Amino acid sequence: MSDLHKLILKEAKPLMEKKYGDSLTDIEFYKMMFVNFRHKNGEPHGLRLTGVGNNLLQRVYDAHTYHITGDVNHQAYILLDMHMVWPYYVGRKLATFYSDNDAAWFRLNNSDLKLYTEHL
């Protein structure tokens, strides 16, 4: 997962620095990008995007955004954190995926985050 974080840092940080200035450290960048950012065994971990992170990544990568049906619960967040390989955003009404495969499985589960996470 560290390689993915490094790639996002390389490709997205320059865009963020245009808006927030060049003084952002890598850790500050990651904390602005990911809600669940933390270090695990000395490596960056966590792929759930903040609103800022989602808006920024949509300018760099292809994104698939859908309306969420059903309720979003904490169990879904935990399962997403444990199993997701690519960045994702979950808002109150929208979910965005940066993987075609994740987006397809979400749609196949009726855009219901609870159903989707039960099959991860």
Count of domains observed in the chain: 1
Q: pLDDT averaged over the chain? A: 93
CB 46 within 8 A of CB 37: yes
Q: Look at residue 77 in the predicted model and tell me its pLDDT.
A: 95
Which tokens go with 105?
A: 């499985």
CA dihedral 15, 5, 28, 120 (to 10 degrees): 110
User: Residue 44: beta bridge partners?
Assistant: 39
Residue 51 phi, psi dihedral angles, 5° rounding: -60, -45
On whether the CB atoms of residues 64 and 103 are closer than 8 A, the answer is yes
Residue 18 CB contacts under 8 Å (≥ 6 apart), including other chains: none
Q: Which domain holds residue 24?
A: 2-118
Of 11-25, 37-51, 52-66, 75-89, minimum mean pLDDT range: 11-25
- Read off the pLDDT of residues 74-112 as tens digits, 9 standing for 90 and up: 999 999 999 999 999 999 999 999 999 999 999 999 999
